[in-house]
Structure 1
């Protein structure tokens, strides 16, 4: 790989990592997916570098690690939302109560049953 090719690949990967960061911070996971293929091909090109050229990649390595942390946090947020929605569905569909001995009882709430209030 010539120095010009190397600089072009580094520059393109640097720009791509910045775009990936923006997409992650904006929650645009579709854009992250679209960038993935190009990022993989650029990283494959960089894997062909000589050992002496690797020192120049430290800045890119920092950006890759930063973006991976952002992606991990985005996935963690998606899991949290999914768990919260599942909990809300359970609350809507049933009611948990406890008797005088502390034993839990689940009452299924369907549309046909109703709750009667007494004064």
Structure 2
């Protein structure tokens, strides 16, 4: 049993809910700041606590209402972050394609490719 699991087995249901609440706040903060590298650790902690809560059969729905709201909010933030990452990846792929050259169609519908000269850089003048 890990140290975290050992700590959690001696907690009350309310202390587990409070801990989950705190983790959800940390997760939201990391998502808002774009610190996605912290999400995995928080996810591991969150899953451990949720597993402990699932083993407790006497929890009332009202006890979990606040954390459920936070879970939903964080999921929306995570979905937005993933959408942003996909958008950036798509844009970077487009830029790589443009860097390789430009494909155009003439009036007759024939495709023409114009390559770029590698090694050229733009110079910023003051």
Q: Mark yes or no: TM-score above 0.5.
A: yes
Distance change (3 Å), C-alpha of 1:97 and 1:52: closer
- Matching residue within 38, 51, 74 for 2:45: 38
Task: List per-residue Cα deviations over 1:11-65 (Å, max 9, x = no partner).
Answer: 1100110000000000101111111111000000111232552331011111001
Counterpart residue number, 1:22: 29
Structure 1 residue 110 displacement after superposition: 4.6
- If the length of structure 2 is used for normalisation, what is the TM-score? 0.78
| Runs of 4+ deviating beyond 6 Å | none
* 3-state SS of 1:107 partner: strand
TM-score normalized by the length of structure 1 = 0.83
* Structure 1 residue 69 corresponds to structure 2 residue 76: yes
Partner of 1:54: 61
Tell me the residue number matched to 2:88: 81
Larger displacement relative to structure 2 (5-14 or 44-53) = 44-53
